[in-house]
């Protein structure tokens, strides 16, 4: 069937890219750290600790292992087909056009809702910092309508503006994007290390008892609790590391550089997450975080009397969350660019501005949509949609490595995932376990998004696909 027509790796590599190659291993590592470290430490640790207790550190490890196995599969694909598009392009090679479109559509959902959700967290920290400095934003402009019961609000202006600012940075070039991200990541890591050094001395081991009050999976007060449900929550922290592979066409020597960047960023981020959560649950009893859900790090600082650190940590949180938004918007623009170049999206999204060497129009289109979503929509109920879309992408990439090893063993791979077939199989199992931790309403919303995508595929993409110009015997139409 022509809906399963595939791209040929050799054909892909023949085409030169109009995008500018400037990224090296540490740039990609910083891009990955920029995507991973932010929301997890500064926002989700509180909710995660209430769900798993001190065992939240184990939940982070479970989520990281899931991402680690998937990351090995991403690294192999990235070395085999070093082009923009991430899981979308990899699925096009392994499974065919309709699967690629589905996963591209999922990734757009992931990055749009992910960046919009994180921008709301950024707005909260920013408003808190301004408040400490005596500057107050009108309440009606600090949240979407209906976000907080009993509080009148209409629009989240800070969330809207930060997304537009980051969209502008991304649109004017990868060099500017790299510099902005690298600077913010360095400051963010410095703040985290300062926090660790200043608070580790206040750990009280009895706060870790019981270490896992809710076990692996149980129900507490009518809701799922334990290590696995908490892992499903904090998995959101790792979303975005896959966007590193979207930078393939802007990377120097991508077949070697991409795998290193993906795996290094995952390793460094996981170590910091585990250290931070052990310190936080050791300094205060995990139940205290119920009062600090939006800023759990501040609970530790208040407990230790180090209020002088709160402004520094707030600045670190703002920068940390900013890099998450930046990387997700960057990944989003490169996915839509790749889909447009293949004919599955209108040409508008693939137009490269010759001055900036970026997909300028597509970047601004999705940037504006994301900014509006962050300003107008109460995103609490939609956050899990980001997780299910990403986990689906991980499953397909892992399955793709299995299939490509079987069907195309001759293709050159600059990096080979160790332990195949076990590595991708374990990745798939971990993803399915985390999906099982999500609620049924998430599945309903995901199916609706999928249905909209299918209407777009059969109504536009299938007719305009560049593969229509290939004859059945041509490469790429197998």
Query: Would you state the pLDDT for residue 240?
Result: 67
What is the rounded average pLDDT of the residues 231-245? 77
Query: Would you state the pLDDT for residue 474?
Result: 43
Residue 255: pLDDT over 70: yes
Domain residue spans in the chain? Answer: 2-469
When mean pLDDT is compared across 76-80, 229-233, 328-332, 371-375, the lowest value belongs to: 76-80
Phi-psi region of 353 (alpha: psi -120 to 50; beta: other; left: phi over 0): beta
The CATH architecture that domain 2-469 belongs to is: Up-down Bundle (1.20)
Query: Would you state the pLDDT for residue 239?
Result: 73
What is the rounded average pLDDT of the residues 144-163? 78
Average of per-residue pLDDT values in the chain: 83
Phi-psi region of 296 (alpha: psi -120 to 50; beta: other; left: phi over 0): alpha
Query: Would you state the pLDDT for residue 384?
Result: 63
194 or 470, greater pLDDT: 194
The Cα–Cα gap between 281 and 283 comes to 6
Query: Would you state the pLDDT for residue 322?
Result: 87
478 or 15, greater pLDDT: 15
The DSSP string of 337-388 is HHHHHTTSS-GGGGPPBTTTTB-HHHHHHHHHHHHHHHHH---GGGHHHHHH
Output the CA torsion 34→38→39→44 (10° steps).
Answer: 130
The burial class, CB within 10 Å (0-12 / 13-18 / 19+), for 411 is middle
Q: Which residues pair with 476 in a beta bridge?
A: none
**pLDDT by residue (tens digit) across 369-423?**
999 988 887 655 556 667 787 888 889 889 999 998 988 888 888 888 888 899 9
Per-residue pLDDT band at 478 (split at 50, 70, 90): very low
Instruction: Give percent of the chain above pLDDT 90.
Output: 23
The Cα–Cα gap between 332 and 199 comes to 37
Per-residue pLDDT band at 363 (split at 50, 70, 90): very high
Query: Would you state the pLDDT for residue 223?
Result: 77
**Contact (Cβ atoms closer than 8 angstroms) between residue 314 and residue 124:** no
Query: Would you state the pLDDT for residue 469?
Result: 67
What is the rounded average pLDDT of the residues 279-298? 86
Query: Would you state the pLDDT for residue 476?
Result: 42
Structure tokens at 417: 């995932």
**Contact (Cβ atoms closer than 8 angstroms) between residue 196 and residue 275:** yes
**pLDDT by residue (tens digit) across 36-58?**
887 777 777 888 898 999 999 99
């Amino acid at each position: 069937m022509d809906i399963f027509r595939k791209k040929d790796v050799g054909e892909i590599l023949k085409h030169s890219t109009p995008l500018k190659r400037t990224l090296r291993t540490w740039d990609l590592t910083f891009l990955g750290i920029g995507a991973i470290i932010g929301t997890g430490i500064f926002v989700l640790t509180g909710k995660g600790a209430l769900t798993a207790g001190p065992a939240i550190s184990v939940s982070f490890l479970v989520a990281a292992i899931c991402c680690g196995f998937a990351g090995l599969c991403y690294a192999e694909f990235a070395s085999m087909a070093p082009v923009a598009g991430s899981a979308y392009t990899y699925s096009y090679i392994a499974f065919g056009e309709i699967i690629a479109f589905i996963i591209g559509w999922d990734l757009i959902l992931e990055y749009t809702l992910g960046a919009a959700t994180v921008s709301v967290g950024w707005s909260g920290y920013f408003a808190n910092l301004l408040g400490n400095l005596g500057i107050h934003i009108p309440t009606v402009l600090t949240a979407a309508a209906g976000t907080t019961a009993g509080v009148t609000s209409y629009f989240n202006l800070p969330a809207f503006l930060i997304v537009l600012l980051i969209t502008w940075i991304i649109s004017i070039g990868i060099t500017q994007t790299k510099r902005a991200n690298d600077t913010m990541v360095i400051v963010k890591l410095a703040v985290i290390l300062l926090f660790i050094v200043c608070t580790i001395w206040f750990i009280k081991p009895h706060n870790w008892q019981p270490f896992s009050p809710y076990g692996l999976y149980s129900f507490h007060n009518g809701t799922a609790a334990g290590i696995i449900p908490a892992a499903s929550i904090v998995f959101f922290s790792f979303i975005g590391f896959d966007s590193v592979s979207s930078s393939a066409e802007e990377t120097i020597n991508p077949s070697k550089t991409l795998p290193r960047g993906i795996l290094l960023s995952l390793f460094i981020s996981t170590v910091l997450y585990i250290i931070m959560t052990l310190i936080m649950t050791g300094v205060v009893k995990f139940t205290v975080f119920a009062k600090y859900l939006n800023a759990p790090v501040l609970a530790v600082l208040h407990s230790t009397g180090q209020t002088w650190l709160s402004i520094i940590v707030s600045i670190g949180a703002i920068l940390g969350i900013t890099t998450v938004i930046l990387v997700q918007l960057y990944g989003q623009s490169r996915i839509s660019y790749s889909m447009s170049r293949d004919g599955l999206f209108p040409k508008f999204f693939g137009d490269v501005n010759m001055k900036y060497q970026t997909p300028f129009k597509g970047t601004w289109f999705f940037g504006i949509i994301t900014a509006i979503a962050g300003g107008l929509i109460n995103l609490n109920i939609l956050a899990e949609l980001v997780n299910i879309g990403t986990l689906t992408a991980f499953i397909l990439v892992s399955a793709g490595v299995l299939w490509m090893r079987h069907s195309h063993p001759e293709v050159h791979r600059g990096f080979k995932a160790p332990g195949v077939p076990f590595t991708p199989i374990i990745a798939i199992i971990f993803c399915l376990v985390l999906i099982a931790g999500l609620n049924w309403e998430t599945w309903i919303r995901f199916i609706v998004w999928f249905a909209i995508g299918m209407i777009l595929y059969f109504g536009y993409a299938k007719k305009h696909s560049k593969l229509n110009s290939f004859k059945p015997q041509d490469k790429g139409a197998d």
